[in-house]
Amino acid sequence: MDNRPVMTVAELSAFLDAEFPQINARGRHYTVAEISPGEAVLRLDPDQSHVRPGGTISGPTLFSLADLAAYAVILAHIGPVALAVTTSLNINFLRKPDVEPLAGKARILKLGKRLAVVEIAIEAASGGDVLAHATATYSIPPR
């Protein structure tokens, strides 16, 4: 795998803003924080719409962060292919996340012509233990 990114943070952010404005329709909650060889970090700045009873970030929000982080790392390395789609995503919730900014740290495990496999670790943006761990497989359309 050539693990050099082909998109910058600014390019990927602009692509997501143009193609998926709905992810930040209620305010800028998701941002591309960094891109490096084989990796990308997506930041979530949650608001009350992301909180479930009990004062924790909801499972669907963590799932969305994992899926978006996987999409971001793949596009950062293949270019702006809007029709790359999730074929599977498995997530394990390990610890209760506090209501604070989170980081979805995505790492490419395999990047082929038609499939990509990514591992995502979600933790507090300030660091600490992994709160959730996910693996995702994406289908990449012919280019």
Examine residue 2 and state whether it is found in any structural domain, yes or no. Answer: no
Examine residue 3 and state whether it is found in any structural domain, yes or no. Answer: no
Examine residue 126 and state whether it is found in any structural domain, yes or no. Answer: yes
Examine residue 1 and state whether it is found in any structural domain, yes or no. Answer: no
Examine residue 65 and state whether it is found in any structural domain, yes or no. Answer: yes
Q: What is the pLDDT, as a whole number, of residue 137?
A: 98
Spell out the residues 6+ positions from residue 2 whose beta carbon is closer than 8 angstroms to its own. none
Examine residue 44 and state whether it is found in any structural domain, yes or no. Answer: yes
Q: What is the pLDDT, as a whole number, of residue 50?
A: 93
Q: Say how many domains are in the chain.
A: 1
pLDDT in tens, 39-81: 999 999 999 999 999 999 999 999 999 999 999 999 999 999 9
pTM of the predicted protein model: 0.94
Tell whether the torsion through CA atoms of 39, 45, 51 and 57 is positive or negative. positive
For 43-83, the DSSP string reads EE---GGGEETTTEE-HHHHHHHHHHHHHHHHHHHH---TT
Domain coverage including residue 63: 9-139
Examine residue 68 and state whether it is found in any structural domain, yes or no. Answer: yes
CATH number at residue 89: 3.10.129.10
